[in-house]
A and B are shown apart, each in its own frame.
Chain A
Amino acid sequence: MDFLISGQHVNPIYLMILGFVVGVFGGFFGVGGSFIAGPGLFAAGVPMNFVVGTDLAHIVGKSIVATRKHFIRGNVDMKLGLIMFSGTIAGTEVGAQGIEYLKKLGQVNMVVGIFFIIVLLSISAFMAWESWLTLKRKKKGAKPRKGRADHSAISNFSARIQRLNLPPMIKLSASGIKQISLWVVIAVAFVGGVFAGFLGGGAGYIRMPSLVYIIGVPTHVAVGTDLFEIIISASYGTLTHAIKGNVDILIALVMHTGAAVGAQIGVTLTQYFGGPRIRMAFVPLPLIGAALIVYGLVTGTQLK
């Protein structure tokens, strides 16, 4: 099928299957799935600037679906999501401007591709290490900190962050956080926004771990809140990238049809798994994404 805006010929069934897989992951892990969707589009021959913009557009629709399901399960901290809004928007615009700069230099594929690989490998390694440590401690009978309904091997780090006295301090009851600096929340949102604007997708692969390990949000609430935040960052990212000519909305619509089906399965599965196991299951996914980008960059051929 010809996608006239990006000037590419891509099999729509491939896009629907890609969207389906991303939808399952998005519903289960609370991430937009751009660590698979982005590399998947790039491997299909879509130029990287269109990958970034189109992926942002596709996850808007998908995240609305998944967020609603998490919302009715009480997994969305709306106050946290709305506070993160300003940081997310600012960061997304910074990221989008980065893409425009690289387009002018004609280096967008290589630079974004390499950056993507580094980020994906780092996230995979870190989550593998943390999840393995946490499961090991759980087996030895370690209990979670008081008031938290989740295990984490590095929960002391988020506790120290919460004790940082940088007013104004806010309370996040839905996440069980008695107090945390507003600036920490905005900084996490800003960094997530930069990744969203620069690498595409909702940057849930940065935001979800940040919510858990830095802010100290329980994993199930981090999943739902991250999805809510993705709606905001991806909507803004879609607008700014579309104005810059980086969005092929038809590709996004086709991918989303598959994602809408996959998200239902993904969300239903979260009720059967605990926090550390969800995080451990997440580990291979960024590696698959990194492999797809390496394939696209090294061979220059396309998966069709």
Chain B
Amino acid sequence: MNKKIKQGAVKSFIGDFVRKKTKAEQLQSEPSLKLFIVELLIFASLVLGYFFLVLIFLANWLKTLFDASKPLYALVALALIVTQGVVLEVISAVVLKVVETKLE
């Protein structure tokens, strides 16, 4: 039962993530300034943590790949930036949902 509730919540989150919203829905779903600032601060902290725990350690591996095969490096480079873009966006949406739930 809990698993079904969680799956439903995830589906609803994904739907909200990509669905076009009407003007009324946009106005309703826009976070208040306080929520937006809290979400932004938490998100910025997570991003900084990601930089110090992950990005710093990629330099040597990327250089090795760059020297070994440019086409493969090109694909990996595009995949990395797209993945980072999507993941950071999902994390910001999740943080906003959690902040909304806790503060309202």
Contacts and interface: CB of A to CB of B under 8 A. Distances in A.
Contacts of A73: 21, 26
Q: For this complex, into which size category does the number of interface residues on chain B fall?
A: 35 or more
Contacts of B68: none
A5 B44 CA distance: 27
Contacts of B88: 61, 65, 256-257, 260
Contact of B81 (A1, A58, A243, A268): A58
A68 B16 CA distance: 11
B62 A249 contact: yes
Contacts of B55: 250, 253-254, 257
Nearest to B75: A239
Contact of A242 (B58, B73, B85): B73
A261 B91 CA distance: 11
A105 interface: no
A72 B19 contact: yes
A261 B49 CA distance: 13
Interface of A: 1-5, 12, 16, 57-58, 60-65, 68, 71-74, 235, 238-240, 242-245, 247, 249-250, 252-254, 256-258, 260-261, 264-265, 268, 271
Given A4-B59, A249-B76, A257-B47, 9 more contacts: A2-B59, A60-B82, A64-B85, A71-B20, A235-B78, A243-B70, A250-B59, A253-B81, A261-B40
Contacts of B17: 68
B77 A249 contact: yes
A64 B80 CA distance: 13
A74 B63 contact: no
Contacts of A3: 59
Q: Which of B21, B56, B75, B85 has the most CB of A within 10 A?
A: B85
B86 interface: yes
A260 B89 contact: yes
A5 B19 CA distance: 39
A257 B58 CA distance: 15
Contact of B50 (A58, A60, A257): A257
A62 B70 CA distance: 23
A88 to B, nearest CB: 16
A260 B26 contact: no
Contact of B85 (A2, A62, A247, A268): A62
A64 B19 contact: no
Contacts of B19: 72
A54 to B, nearest CB: 10
Contacts of B101: none
B37 to A, nearest CB: 10
Contacts of A239: 74-75, 78
B84 interface: yes
A250 B55 CA distance: 7
B13 interface: no
B51 A64 contact: no
A58 B75 CA distance: 14
Nearest to A59: B81
Interface in B29-78: 30, 36, 40, 43-44, 47-48, 50-51, 55-56, 58-60, 62-63, 66, 70-71, 73-78
Nearest to B70: A243
Instruction: Give me the 6 closest cross-chain CB pairs, A-B, nearest first.
Output: A61-B85, A242-B74, A249-B77, A4-B63, A64-B85, A260-B88
A65 B85 contact: yes
A71 B16 CA distance: 12
B84 A256 contact: yes
Nearest to B52: A12
Nearest to A61: B85
